[in-house]
Amino acid sequence: MSAPANLPPKEELLNRAEEILKQLEGGPWPSHVSELRKTRYPLHVYGVGLVARKSPWGPAAVKVEFLNTGVLSRWARDWVPGGGSEVHFRVFHTPGKFLRTDFLRKITKISRELGVGLIELVGQTGALVLNLTPETAEAMVDALREIGTDVGGSGDAIRALNACVGPALCEFALYDTLKWYAEFYKDKRVNDNIVTPSYPYKFKVKFSGCPLDCARAQRGDIGFIGVWEGAPEVDQELLGKKIEAGEVDPEKLAANCPSGAITWDKEKKELRIDGTRCKKSMHCIRAAFPAIKPGKKRKVAVVVGGGSKGRFGPKLGWFIGYLEPDQVKDAIDLTFKVIGPWEAEAQPKYRLGDYIMHLGLDKFIEKAGIKLEGMPVSTAKMPDEVPYAVLPKEVRERFLSFAQQLKGRV
């Protein structure tokens, strides 16, 4: 990239960069610049970028022996005085982001001695990222492996897994997300595919203990979400007390149920929930817990094809059926069944969801050989008269009616 227009001479540029950095240290709030000054991060590059109002970084590649993925690197562009580089690893993190203090101490020691003294916990998944220098990269990987972790989870591979805190901290957890996370990590196939990129694009696996979906499993290529069968359980006596105390408004509860499953009998002072209509939104449970709780018969709903990036834009996953909370081994097998046809046939940079849209959900399920309890039965057939249709008929009709409603409103 050519140098931005009107850049001052080198010395003045560096002085102005320093001025901006100092401004960012002012004020009563914590300053990321002050924190970065404690490390060996090339802060002047950041400052120059702020003066130029352009990213000062260009792409680069750093090869670390015996490492196929997980290393990301950038070099300062040639208009940045003094140059500089920024290289970082993604390190395997722990389920629910529980980090033991002894583990953190070891990581900090490695970062200080072999890296630049900077650890980041970033992104939606809370990924553990360590900055390093290319010269010490190999020694750093060895040190990380010695303390029982590894580098991986970037590129076109299975990405670092993500699980909510689940039963360790949360009263809503409907299955053991932490155990599922650990079992997935322990599986050799999963591990191999985290450290070796061989897929058309990235593949994310996420575990959420309930439909509140803190791990955003709906946006994973495969997501596992704790649910229950039928209606939530209502403790009428406790609910009555909450209503008397003014903590719960039963009419509001019924009005806010997204599927209209709740009815409030004023005479009998009884709240009823129709399990066949309940869409597991968690709204009533959150508002009246523990008087309203998830039902006792627990399941794990499986969704596939979600993602915020991809050829056809952001998508929420499609529900494809249920597993039991103890079926984690089947969940691992299912994950590789889902990956199979996508890996074999999808074009480069097609997320699983893009591939499913291209093929149609019914055909994808058939190709992957998936058989699950509660699978959605689709009568939709791809009509011959619509060439290149990527969506089943019923889905296209839903989009069409939505577009017509919008047109009407405009």
Residue of closest CB approach to ligand SF4: 209
**Closest distance between ligand SF4 and the C-beta of residue 46, in Å?**
35
Of 81 and 209, the one with the shorter C-beta distance to ligand SF4 is 209
For 71, residues 6+ apart whose C-beta sits below 8 A from its C-beta are 62, 64, 87, 88, 89, 137, 151, 154
Q: CA-CA distance, 278 to 286, in Å (whole number)? A: 15
Of 89 and 172, the one with the shorter C-beta distance to ligand SF4 is 172
**Closest distance between ligand SF4 and the C-beta of residue 96, in Å?**
8
How far the first Cα of the chain sits from its last, in Å, is 43
Cα Rg for the chain, rounded, in angstroms? 26
Of 22 and 286, the one with the shorter C-beta distance to ligand SF4 is 286
**Closest distance between ligand SF4 and the C-beta of residue 99, in Å?**
17
Q: CA-CA distance, 166 to 278, in Å (whole number)? A: 23
Of 180 and 318, the one with the shorter C-beta distance to ligand SF4 is 180
Q: Hey, how many other C-beta atoms are within 10 angstroms of the C-beta on 98?
A: 12
**Closest distance between ligand SF4 and the C-beta of residue 379, in Å?**
33
**Closest distance between ligand SF4 and the C-beta of residue 184, in Å?**
16
**Closest distance between ligand SF4 and the C-beta of residue 405, in Å?**
32
Of 111 and 208, the one with the shorter C-beta distance to ligand SF4 is 208
**Is the sign of the CA dihedral 389, 390, 394, 397 positive or negative?**
negative
**Closest distance between ligand SF4 and the C-beta of residue 336, in Å?**
25
Give the interface with ligand SF4 as residue ranges (CB under 6 A): 164-166, 170, 172-173, 208-210, 212-214
Q: CA-CA distance, 288 to 38, in Å (whole number)? A: 47
Q: CA-CA distance, 109 to 199, in Å (whole number)? A: 34
Beta bridge partners of 224: 207, 302
Element (H, E) at 294: none
Extended beta strands in 67-184, E state: 71-76, 85-91, 115-122, 127-132, 162-163
Of 173 and 332, the one with the shorter C-beta distance to ligand SF4 is 173
Of 60 and 165, the one with the shorter C-beta distance to ligand SF4 is 165
Task: Say if CB 135 and CB 116 are below 8 A apart.
Answer: no
